[in-house]
Structure 1
């Protein structure tokens, strides 16, 4: 859950970079370890994190999330914990259970204390020293787990005040853990709400790394509005690589209240440099950043536009993730699962269909299935499933679709495609939601882009509880950012579901959402809208 003030980007060019290459001593590594600026797993194989953050401390009942994150292809999950200073404390038993679930799902577990967020600026935030004390209190849950667990001492340990002591305080916390017998790889976050606009971490990273007697520290930069250009992203990450200091993007998103990060460059540059990334966050965001949810209401079948991007997009998790070799991945297994059976369709409605197929088999275990929509030679990712059945939602009424399925195994191999099934959704007339009126209005336009507002009015006498609005674009318009709703777009077909705060449209009332989108040449307004599969009047 992000709590951040707006920060000013500071020019990167022309500043001296005081890092130097640190000679790394021979170290009889236990578990994960750093060598030559690279993170290696317990078998000495290069490991590149591809995963997401999960807000465990606020949603301890969401125990299935780790399995669902793995099913979508991640090899790592960064788990939010609390020392008890700002939120309910996660005790040793709970930490041990999280670690056990990570291992059961063949995930590497990055554990972080969130109570340090914005220390020096955020009321109630605690120091890195206090976070280190928490790690000592749960050490029993972590001893012997060095192959599977990385300890992230404290999240975003300073805001935009008091951060000049970051290097000394970070080194002291590292040494406190080492003196207590922690042999784990330690991850440390940057100050300035994780974004290091002051370059405090960048310019002191070599010093902090050298202060670790195990030379086993990884640095984490959080990329939000400060990193809104390719030049800033490339410069920052390449300086660490040149200095042979390990760096990961521990948090980032596709948008933020402090600016619009260049997520495409983050994906491309981390892939080109072989650096890890962990997107924020799986689900449950609040405080105005609900758009950073990757899935809606912790449901892995309801990927948001951000979820689609990070899991299924270019240089995303599905395309680039490789399981840690301690689980048998990392290149040891190159045999793909058998192809799933051809799916069958059931429970067809105007807006959804349930698909089932014969399960695949694999030597190291099938971890999930990718459902795709097939249109000639084009495939569009639709959803993922941890089991051999799923419900595909967000479809248009009285429309023909063709679906197929792939299987993935624990080593990251993907099967050949299943056979295809053709489905035609039902007409929308039978759906009880029909008392609606839609107003679609373009409120701003510029070369190649526009902004629009949409209002849905309930013209009936009973509330509408939960809504999905659909329409089709005629000119190839593509929505880039949407607020007050959850977007799914497949080609010209658009569906927007309610957000958590506007699920109910009272009788005679209305809800609204807005978005920005791209266009090329022509930007014709849609002329037909459906709510839950039934036609709405157009104002």
Structure 2
């Protein structure tokens, strides 16, 4: 059985809609203590307060139930998250509570955060067989026993692409009602909501109403998901959309995207680069099993992890891809296992006090010829208004990408300063920035990492 090809048609009002602005800004913050994943501004946080950025793929479990072993292969290629396709039984064979419990167990065994989604809602209004969001909520309530207690590992994506292009404004009320019902039923999970317009939100219904939808959740724990296909075929459209959510202070992920599509050619390079720059999660579509003319969206051929397709190579191994940027959730220990390399990188350099702040350098992941690192800046006994971190690479390492800091290099000397949103730190508070870098021969951590406050 092949994955049904999802029809996407675009209305003539797109150009006018692009000019619309965000109608309301809303800074997201949890209104009450929540279990498991929470939201703070634009960030998704684990239960211990550590930021978590999704780097993963979609897996079509409901059509390929015998391929659950693919989770191990997805993990082996570096992912930290998998979005799993389920069916409520309205259009395809229902995934019952026992099956969902097994999916969650396999995600946990493979150290993957599990985003569960109901696919039957796809294209409601355009597709006569599509289920409503209310029917999706009925399904979640019916399998609640499989989800209770899994809030540290599971994010609940209510329904896939729950409106097509017909009456997308109906998405607002239906989404609010769905969230309200889930909370009333006792769900404490982080909730993810897909955009209308087959997930692409070209009418900006989700973008312009996200603040009110977020406020409808008494837990203030909603994440928004946009699917980037042919509508997002230029860098300007991608960067504008992602930055609008950042400006609004609301959490966003790219829940699906590909390198090609029948409705246009998405700019996957800009999607990956901008998501990395802004700390936005992304989940590529999809591991394997696509049909109906979109087989080019398979990441591996016939579920064989040894046969990466061009799309799979790009997403897993390319610039700003999964292997270079994914960090495992700390609930599993926090470091993504990687193939042994020689020599192994030094994992940490102790902080060296300089003035009113300290900086800690940590290599969090390594692969042959490259690695990912984090630098945590911590204020001392008094608040600071800015910081500058510096070190000297001991083995000629070189940055390939950086985020959350302004970085300059002169030979082996590195200087990094805060950006506008992470320079002011209260006494004892901390901020982090990250990077990927290359190495040859050896990868010793800098002997000294200094921090100067302003």
TM-score normalised by the shorter chain: which range applies? 0.7 to 0.9
Pair 1:69–1:23, CA change in 2 (3 A): closer
Pair 1:414–1:66, CA change in 2 (3 A): farther
- Residues 1:6 and 2:18 are matched in the alignment: no
Pair 1:180–1:235, CA change in 2 (3 A): same
Pair 1:23–1:54, CA change in 2 (3 A): closer
Out of 186, 202, 205, the residue aligned to residue 197 of structure 1 is 202
Cα distance, 1:295 vs. partner? 0.1
Structure 2, unmatched stretches of 5+, are 348-364, 370-434, 442-454
Q: Which residue of 2 aligns with 1:86?
A: 91
Cα distance, 1:23 vs. partner? 5.9
Q: Which residue of 2 aligns with 1:172?
A: 177
Any idea what SS the aligned residue of 2:66 has? coil
Cα distance, 1:71 vs. partner? 0.2
**Separation in 2, partners of 1:13, 1:91:** 41
Bigger relative contact order, structure 1 or 2, given CA contacts below 8 A and separation 6+?
2
Aligned residues: 355
Cα distance, 1:171 vs. partner? 0.5
**Separation in 2, partners of 1:254, 1:234:** 17
- Residues 1:143 and 2:148 are matched in the alignment: yes
Q: Which residue of 2 aligns with 1:65?
A: 70
**Separation in 2, partners of 1:102, 1:24:** 28
Cα distance, 1:164 vs. partner? 1.5
Aligned residue runs from structure 1 range 363-382, under 5 A:
none
Cα distance, 1:58 vs. partner? 0.2
Pair 1:252–1:133, CA change in 2 (3 A): same
Pair 1:216–1:335, CA change in 2 (3 A): closer
Any idea what SS the aligned residue of 1:61 has? helix
Scaled by the length of structure 2, the TM-score of the pair is: 0.74
CA contact (8 A) 1:158 1:192 kept: yes
CA contact (8 A) 2:223 2:252 kept: yes
Q: Which residue of 2 aligns with 1:339?
A: 341
Render the CA deviation track for 1:446-472: whole Å, top value 9, x for unaligned.
xxxxxxxxxxxxxxxxxxxxxxxxxxx
**Separation in 2, partners of 1:247, 1:164:** 19
Cα distance, 1:276 vs. partner? 0.2
**Separation in 2, partners of 1:263, 1:334:** 24
Q: Which residue of 1 aligns with 2:309?
A: 304
Cα distance, 1:240 vs. partner? 0.4
Out of 41, 60, 71, the residue aligned to residue 55 of structure 1 is 60
Cα distance, 1:416 vs. partner? 8.7
More strand by share: 1
Q: Which residue of 2 aligns with 1:445?
A: none
**Separation in 2, partners of 1:93, 1:334:** 29
Pair 1:335–1:417, CA change in 2 (3 A): farther
Scaled by the length of structure 1, the TM-score of the pair is: 0.62
Cα distance, 1:118 vs. partner? 0.3
Render the CA deviation track for 1:412-457: whole Å, top value 9, x for unaligned.
9999999xxxxxxxxxxxxxxxxxxxxxxxxxxxxxxxxxxxxxxx
Pair 1:370–1:56, CA change in 2 (3 A): farther
Cα distance, 1:21 vs. partner? 1.7
Q: Which residue of 1 aligns with 2:295?
A: 290
- Residues 1:257 and 2:226 are matched in the alignment: no
Cα distance, 1:261 vs. partner? 0.5
Between 3-12 and 156-165, report the one with greater CA deviation: 3-12
Out of 76, 81, 84, the residue aligned to residue 76 of structure 1 is 81
Q: Which residue of 1 aligns with 2:323?
A: 318
**Separation in 2, partners of 1:312, 1:227:** 22
Pair 1:16–1:369, CA change in 2 (3 A): closer
Pair 1:270–1:335, CA change in 2 (3 A): closer
Q: Which residue of 1 aligns with 2:50?
A: 45
Between 306-315 and 28-37, report the one with greater CA deviation: 28-37
Aligned residue runs from structure 1 range 125-524, under 5 A:
125-329=130-334, 338-339=340-341
**Separation in 2, partners of 1:267, 1:24:** 26
Render the CA deviation track for 1:229-279: whole Å, top value 9, x for unaligned.
000001111000110110000000000000011100000000000000000
More helix by share: 2
Cα distance, 1:108 vs. partner? 0.2
Cα distance, 1:16 vs. partner? 2.6
Any idea what SS the aligned residue of 1:141 has? helix
CA contact (8 A) 2:299 2:309 kept: yes
**Separation in 2, partners of 1:167, 1:126:** 16
Pair 1:60–1:417, CA change in 2 (3 A): farther
Pair 1:170–1:3, CA change in 2 (3 A): same
Pair 1:14–1:85, CA change in 2 (3 A): closer
Out of 16, 30, 34, the residue aligned to residue 29 of structure 1 is 34
Cα distance, 1:165 vs. partner? 1.0
Cα distance, 1:338 vs. partner? 4.6
CA contact (8 A) 1:310 1:317 kept: yes
**Separation in 2, partners of 1:235, 1:416:** 34
The root-mean-square deviation of aligned C-alpha atoms, in Å, is: 2.8
Cα distance, 1:69 vs. partner? 0.2
Cα distance, 1:205 vs. partner? 0.4
Cα distance, 1:29 vs. partner? 1.9
Pair 1:303–1:179, CA change in 2 (3 A): same
Aligned residue runs from structure 1 range 113-132, under 5 A:
113-132=118-137
CA contact (8 A) 2:107 2:113 kept: yes
Render the CA deviation track for 1:384-403: whole Å, top value 9, x for unaligned.
xxxxxxxxxxxxxxxxxxxx
Structure 1, unmatched stretches of 5+, are 342-359, 373-411, 419-539
Pair 1:369–1:292, CA change in 2 (3 A): farther
